Amino acid sequence: MKTIFYGIALVSACLFVSGCETSDLSKTYTGSTTLVVPAKSGQKTPLSNMFTPNDDCSSGRPPSIKVVSGPAHGSVNIVRSTVSPTFEPGNALHKCNSRKLSAVSAVYVSAPGYVGKDSVRVSSQVAGNPTGYYDYYEFRIDVTK
């Protein structure tokens, strides 16, 4: 089963390699991702949709995700959702683009009237992953009116 994590940044995304920390270094995964996400004050903003497609395009069990830190100026809810994947031509899973897959989403809402910068760090572990490795995603959120 191939594992694909799909992060949605509504307008632009900047990827950087960063270290990550856990209390158990055997469960650290390097190469975490930072995404810059624009958001409107007080409105729900999807930060990511994380899903695991099976080779036959059926939905695998969605990853387990949790908020590790932040936000300082709002809240994040983890919700179940569905997603239409957008795999590039040439990807073995491109055939799955016409399917709806089960996903887990992190959704940010700023405090009412807040304008400025906020950040959220989310950890993700693939369902059934025997290695115990986690991926970390940092979302740098630019909140405007």
Structural domain harbouring 9: 4-144
Indicate the number of domains in the chain: 1
Domain of residue 131, CATH code: 2.60.40
pLDDT in tens, 26-73: 444 545 788 899 999 999 999 988 888 899 999 988 888 889 998 999
Query: What is the radius of gyration, based on Cα positions, of the chain?
Result: 15
| Whole-structure pTM value | 0.71
User: Bridge-partner residues for 105, per DSSP?
Assistant: 49, 79
For the segment 123-142, what is each residue's pLDDT rounded down to a tens digit?
A: 888 766 666 677 888 999 99
